[in-house]
Structure 1
Amino acid sequence: MNILLLTSEFAPAMGGIGTYAREIAAAASRLGAKVTVLAPDYARQTADDDRSLPFEVVRFRGGLHSMRDLPRKIMLARRGVRRAQYNVIHAADWPFFIPVALSRWRTPARVLMTVHGTEINETQMPLKRIAIHGAGVFGPRTEVIANSRFTEMLFRERFAVDPRRISTVNLGVSEFWFGGQRTRREVRLAHRLPDDRLVMITVARITRRKGHHLTLAALLQLPDDLRRRITWLVVGPDGEADYVGELRRSAAQVACDIRFLGPQPNEEIRDLYAASDFFCLTGLPDTTGRVEGFGLVYLEAGAAGLPSVATKVGGVPDAVLADETGILASASVASISDAIAELAADRGLRAILAAGASAHARALSWERCAATTYGLTYAGKRAMAERAIGLTA
């Protein structure tokens, strides 16, 4: 199978869509497909890194998407689909939806478009809707891939598309997250974390919609003796300056060991997972229209053997299975506090949910994601197949 994947986000600018594009391309390559990725160069020299990948990367001049880039992306797509006899043309994110739609007639290939969540709401602006309708983006030959049941539901609400052309294929988790180089004891010694300390970790940009303030308020409601036994590791770059400042000031007044570690490389995050007892990320609904389409970070923590405290927001219930891989709370301080207290107080419960989280992460491999998306043969494990949406037989 010959696949062309077009993305407006890719390494070295690695957000969620960049991770998706890289991992599904690599997985499809491991399953025997020939994959070409069309991606921006970010005005950097990327040739050495690109050569290390198991697929071809064709760079175009540009960075993160702006609407001013649309005419150039249309020309890139037109030229791209004619480079080879592709079986699949895949727009990995919405900036390439219109360019790919306008190039459909140049190729007999299957046309796939992946929706991730937030962009579904963003495309409801009048000018974008007119452009999408005029280009026939979701016309008869387009297959829509949603990354969660929530994202599929949101797309169905916003666009009148034949349901038979819409499917949910959950994201995957890389083998990288299933084992680090350092032991729990080594990492704890390096970070001066006593053996009897309960370590809760959050990995996310510190921004209001990720709900760090809810977690902090939930810690305040814990009994004093339990709260003093907890260390909260906060990993991730800063978001809104006013929000981050207020969060840090509030955290300094709480009788709890709270450590803001800033952004960390994946290798260090993996080691910090090994030193932790459970993961906590308590997102909340965002009035700006941004949504949590899936929640890949919960799977990565699960692969490292961590159960999660999470909120029932967006597509998170596909990443965290209630009472199987973690505790799903409502986006309220009291509910989150109860969930943290329950996990912190019960070692046996943590062990049971950790085993479930690891098994769920194993079931949701990138090979399964690529095989289901592109129709490739996959002979992977069938563990938790009934829960792993899109899992092939």
Structure 2
Amino acid sequence: MENNIIIYRDTLLPYSETFIPAQVENYKSYTGFYVGTSRCRGRNYPLPAQRTLVLSEMAKLTLRRKLLFLITGLGYPDWFRRLKQLSPRLIHAHFGPDGVWALPMRQRLKIPLIVTFHGYDITVNQDSSDDLSNMFGPHPLTRVYFWRRRHLFKTAHFCIAVSEFIRTKLIEKGCPPDKILVHYIGIDVDKFAPQPHPSRQPVVLFVGRLVEKKGCQYLIQAMAQVQSVRPDLELVVIGDGGLRSTLEQQAAHALKRYRFLGAQPSDVVRDWLNQAMLLCLPSVTDIYHNCEGLPITLLEAQAMEVPVVSSMHAGIPEAIIHGETGFLAAEKDWQALAENILTLASNEQLRKQFAIAGRQQVESKFNIKLNSPQLEAVYDRILQKPKAFC
């Protein structure tokens, strides 16, 4: 029997979510087919064409029909026939809302459903009166998601948390603890490996979306203080987002040496990781209570033996041991960030110590080649009794 599974992400696929195909393409016993209703706007990650099915490329999909389909599963019988032809054995949805949108699919296909929760999908305050459409999709999807999330907890076979922090949030929001599994996605430690003799430059690197929870504004404040002591240190920012213009203006007023490079492909990011003296990602809880799960960038940096400075936020302390593999500061404490950056910049031996310890931790705890088979073992357990969950 073929072990085909549906990897459901409603919008396929932004470059910021390359951790999804990184996991799937490391499966040994299962073949993942990427399924969604539409492509993301702008640049999207090149998924394998022969294993990607997008509803909007098979049928006319107006916004109204899409909303009806996501909420009820009504319409597009040819779409379900096409999915059945894959003979999928289970659905693995990434992000909570996609788990809710996959509920009708699970019912029509009569196969188990598991959902991975990554961060905002379980941490954002559902009582907020703010517009959350940028996270959950157009009205009324936000309310539908919060309304049906408890049903998702009841219906899904497992809810996978990408960190222990996310596990605690799932429990707080009503998910039964016995349905939660903590699984670190991890990274490819062969792909993200340091050059034998990297030529480190006086660069403090930031890689991430330019949104509030990534904390770049506090890094710019910290770098202003850093550059008053070490004017040779340059801030290089890789990423894009709604705050880019604001952050560039802040940097122009506060910093002597800085660059904003926009979003870049992974090979460019690796080149910069091979050059940078350290990486800083000072994540914070934003005004919507939106938190990280566990930023993959921190794992990639440590795998490439780049010392890291970050914050005591969400799942980050699970990946960075303060004083052993990196430095952590309290959220929004830009003065502590500056002190940590200056300490590492002035101590080559400490940078080497953190680099070696960080690489060792990623190899043992966050190695995707070791972690993906663990997830496949979860699939095996589910499929031993699939009818109980259909």
Question: In structure 2, what is the equivalent of residue 219 of structure 1?
Answer: 223
- Aligned partners of 1:25 and 1:37 also within 8 Å: no
Paired with 1:10 and 1:278, the residues of 2 have a C-alpha distance of: 32
Paired with 1:216 and 1:202, the residues of 2 have a C-alpha distance of: 10
- Aligned partners of 1:81 and 1:106 also within 8 Å: no
AA at the equivalent of 2:282: T
- Aligned partners of 1:308 and 1:326 also within 8 Å: yes
Question: In the TM superposition, what is the alpha-carbon distance from 1:147 to its structure 2 partner?
Answer: 0.8
Q: Is 1:265 matched up with 2:265? A: yes
**Structure 1 residues 244 and 43: CA distance shift in structure 2, 3 A:** closer
- Aligned partners of 1:10 and 1:22 also within 8 Å: no
Paired with 2:114 and 2:241, the residues of 1 have a C-alpha distance of: 34
Paired with 2:196 and 2:350, the residues of 1 have a C-alpha distance of: 25
Q: TM-score, normalised by structure 2?
A: 0.78
- Aligned partners of 1:2 and 1:87 also within 8 Å: yes
Question: In the TM superposition, what is the alpha-carbon distance from 1:273 to its structure 2 partner?
Answer: 1.0
Q: Deviations over 1:303-337 (max 9, x none)?
A: 22101000111222223232232111112122212
**Which of the numbers 157, 161, 167 marks the counterpart of 2:181?**
167
Bigger shift: 257-266 or 236-245?
236-245
Question: In structure 2, what is the equivalent of residue 60 of structure 1?
Answer: 55
AA at the equivalent of 1:154: K
Paired residue total: 351
SS at match of 2:84: coil
**Structure 1 residues 300 and 37: CA distance shift in structure 2, 3 A:** same
**Which of the numbers 26, 31, 34 marks the counterpart of 2:31?**
34
- Aligned partners of 1:207 and 1:244 also within 8 Å: no
Question: In structure 1, what is the equivalent of residue 162 of structure 2?
Answer: 147
Question: In structure 1, what is the equivalent of residue 146 of structure 2?
Answer: 129
SS at match of 1:139: helix
**Structure 1 residues 368 and 123: CA distance shift in structure 2, 3 A:** farther
SS at match of 1:61: helix
Runs of at least 5 residues in structure 1 that lack an aligned partner in the other structure:
186-194, 379-393
Task: Tell me how large the CA RMSD over aligned residues is.
Answer: 3.4
Paired with 1:148 and 1:316, the residues of 2 have a C-alpha distance of: 9
Question: In the TM superposition, what is the alpha-carbon distance from 1:166 to its structure 2 partner?
Answer: 0.4
**Structure 1 residues 169 and 339: CA distance shift in structure 2, 3 A:** same
Q: Percent identity?
A: 21
Question: In the TM superposition, what is the alpha-carbon distance from 1:20 to its structure 2 partner?
Answer: 2.9
SS at match of 1:114: strand
Q: TM-score, normalised by structure 1?
A: 0.78
- Matching of residues 99-110 of structure 1 within 5 Å: 99-106=101-108, 109-110=111-112
- Aligned partners of 1:273 and 1:306 also within 8 Å: yes
Question: In structure 2, what is the equivalent of residue 90 of structure 1?
Answer: 92
Paired with 1:302 and 1:5, the residues of 2 have a C-alpha distance of: 28
**Structure 1 residues 128 and 3: CA distance shift in structure 2, 3 A:** closer
- Aligned partners of 1:274 and 1:304 also within 8 Å: yes
**Structure 1 residues 149 and 240: CA distance shift in structure 2, 3 A:** same
**Structure 1 residues 85 and 272: CA distance shift in structure 2, 3 A:** same
Runs of at least 5 residues in structure 2 that lack an aligned partner in the other structure:
128-142, 381-390
